[in-house]
Amino acid sequence: MNDKNTPNDVDDDRYVIEDTGDTVEDIEHEMEVAAQEATTPAAADDFRDRYLRSLADFENFRKRSEREKNDFQRYALAGMVRDLLPVLDNFDRGLEHAEEGDEFHKGMALIYKQLFDVLQRHGLKPIGESGVRFDPNIHEGVVRVEDPSVPSHTVVEVLQKGYVLHDRLIRPAMVKVAVGGPEETAPSGT
């Protein structure tokens, strides 16, 4: 009934110990030699070196983990803040078009200030200055304006504020950039 190729009849040599002909005394002698070699100064230096490397690797791992944890805590709100930016934009637009001085404008301004203050306490900083040199790291130039009265590559108007969370850009400022004016010279000493 049993075929020769069934798993029960297959010879399994994985668990067979080869007989090398060594006696118990030979094996004990090999073990003593290995133990003595392990206690030589070269082996001790090797073990010490490996121990110090492992210790350094662990310390680097600990520091990297701590840095990643801190970064996670600092930027965990970035997604939520990014989702709130259109709300801030709408507040800005509403405040620009509401009549200044009426009760509605005052109420909107107070709510906007309260929301913005909360976001600032959590590390949000606006990018919205005009009159500064265009910086492609924080500005997105969407309009070029020929204006010979201001230096070239100067932000002349901010169309939409940009924002930085701690030190990470979460949205660049959309700006109008002047061209055609005098080239700005680099400050001396740089």
Distance between CA atoms of residues 150 and 1, nearest Å:
99
Q: What is the pLDDT of residue 189?
A: 44
Maximum separation of any 2 CA atoms in the chain, in Å: 104
Residues 140-183: pLDDT tens digits?
999 999 988 889 899 999 999 999 999 899 999 999 999 887 77
Residues 102-131: pLDDT tens digits?
888 889 999 999 999 999 999 999 998 888
Class of the CATH-defined domain 78-179: mainly beta
Which position has the token pair 């005009």? 130
pLDDT grade for 19, boundaries at 50, 70 and 90: low
- In the chain, % of residues over pLDDT 90: 41
Confidence check: pLDDT of 48 > 90 = no
- How is the chain split among helix, strand and coil, in percent rounded to 5? 45, 20, 35
Tokens representing residue 21 in the block: 């002909």
User: b/e string for 3-20 if b means 16 or more Cβ within 10 A?
Assistant: eeeeeeeeeeeeeeeeee
Distance between CA atoms of residues 184 and 17, nearest Å:
84
Confidence check: pLDDT of 21 > 90 = no
Tokens representing residue 91 in the block: 């507040």
Map out the domains of the chain as residue ranges: 24-75, 78-179
Q: Would the pTM count as exceeding 0.75?
A: no
